[in-house]
Amino acid sequence: MSTSERLIESTRALLWERGYVGTSPKAILERAGAGQGSMYHHFKGKPDLALAAIRRTAEEMRATAAGVLDGPGTPYERIEAYLLRERDVLRGCPVGRLTMDPDVIADDALRAPVDETLDWLRARLAGIVEEGREQGEFAPGLDSEEIAAAVVATVQGGYVLARASGSPAAFDAGVRGLLALLAPQDRQPRTRP
Amino acid sequence: MSTSERLIESTRALLWERGYVGTSPKAILERAGAGQGSMYHHFKGKPDLALAAIRRTAEEMRATAAGVLDGPGTPYERIEAYLLRERDVLRGCPVGRLTMDPDVIADDALRAPVDETLDWLRARLAGIVEEGREQGEFAPGLDSEEIAAAVVATVQGGYVLARASGSPAAFDAGVRGLLALLAPQDRQPRTRP
């Protein structure tokens, strides 16, 4: 792996574990096994390197979500598959957790990939809810954008509950609760693998 | 206000704004207008002071939630009132945000008040859902603990969406989506004031 790659991958790991505020340039260099000079050769500084790292994490999250949401099944089944897909629940969401980072939120450039990714996810889910309404799987009175926001919020908030309690059970409970409310009549939600 | 009080209140504000990792003892002392000696006179150090601050914030959050959840109305109306109560949405939840703080999650003493508060909230909400099931306001097949987890997760995740987008609208959308799914037939959810 090139030095530039090692710097980006180390930054991604540290941002996920410790957030932006908690990640020092020194910690990145140590993890990457790189010197200060090489960081400034490839990047303008911590914000620039963090932006590259956040963009890559955001792209990965989008690809993973798209893989499930564009998969087979009815609209309900695709939303179910998205909510139940395997996750490293106790680590939290590498994109969503950045919203609790004051220096990310204060910097429009760093916030942009976070906002765009969650926005994309909501829009994609809203389209699926819309399909489900048209096919009669969901009630016609539901607002697809509101349901989509509730789905994304349940996942993001599920991480909060799981990390607070030190167990994925709380995440699973929230997701199952939402699925039970969303499920077409006479349908039992499945369980996360 | 006593020095000890000023230290606690300054720590609470900084924990909310910048998290535990992002809050230095120096920043606390500056904000409190206190010297290092007075901090160590009253507290063993940053973890001890943070614990006092987190406990007080957790107590306040519990009192505010109880005020709404123990208020008048049917079970659905009380859950609706909880979800729609006025919040400083863009600041996020002062308790929930601590779950994204690696040093809080790694320290059982600091994590305890966060876990206990969210746990209390879920249990209180589950009791209300249970009441609603008994009174026929909610479907008998719903699992009250799962619905309670979905309610708390939607709020916590709603903060993530709002902070990502820089607008409370995404929080409101998620809450309205959940309320639409939870609402008894022929009932339109209200709007957050």
- Identify all chain B residues contacting A147, using CB atoms and an 8 Å cutoff: 177, 180-181
What angle, 0 to 180 degrees and rounded to 10, lies between the N-to-C axes of helices B3-18 and B25-32?
130
The dihedral of CA A136, A138, A142, A148: what is its sign?
negative
Cα A49 to its chain centre, rounded Å, is 20
Task: Look at residue B190 in the predicted model and tell me its pLDDT.
Answer: 66
Query: Which of B145, B150, B161 faces A178 most closely, judged by CB atoms?
Result: B150
Q: What are phi and psi of A21, to 5 degrees?
A: -60, -35
In whole angstroms, what separates CA A21 from the centre of its chain?
A: 19
Per CB-CB distance under 8 Å, the chain B contacts of A176 are 143, 146, 149
In angstroms, how far is the first alpha carbon of chain B from the final one?
33
What are B138-182's pLDDT values in tens digits?
999 999 999 999 999 999 999 999 999 999 999 999 999 999 999
Residue of A nearest to B91 (CA): A100
Rounded Cα distance between B18 and A40, Å, is 27
ipTM of the complex: 0.95
Q: How far apart are CA A51 and CA B20, in angstroms?
A: 23
Residues B22-65: pLDDT tens digits? 999 999 999 999 998 999 999 999 999 999 999 999 999 999 99
pLDDT the model gives residue A184: 87
The share of chain B scoring above pLDDT 90, in percent, equals: 93
> B22 and A17 in contact by Cβ < 8 A?
no
- Nearest CA distance, B123 vs chain A (angstrom): 12
DSSP A98: G
Average confidence (pLDDT) per 10 residues, chain A, 193 residues: 96 97 96 93 96 98 97 97 95 97 97 98 98 94 97 98 98 98 74 66
Q: Is B105 left (phi over 0), alpha (psi -120 to 50) or beta?
A: alpha
Question: Residue A100: which of B92, B142, B175 has the nearest Cβ?
Answer: B92
Instruction: Walk me through the domains of chain B, giving residue ranges and CATH numbers.
Output: 54-182 (1.10.357.10)
* B122, B160, B178 ranked by CB distance to A156: nearest: B160
Q: Across the interface, do B157 and A157 touch by the CB < 8 Å criterion?
A: yes
Q: What is the pLDDT of residue B123?
A: 98
- The closest CB to that of B143, out of A93, A171, A177, belongs to A177
The rounded mean pLDDT for chain B is 95
What confidence category does residue B184 fall into, taking pLDDT thresholds of 50, 70 and 90?
Answer: confident
Cα of A1 to nearest chain B Cα, Å: 28
Q: Do B118 and A160 touch (CB under 8 A)?
A: yes
| Nearest-Cα residue of chain B relative to residue A184 | B181
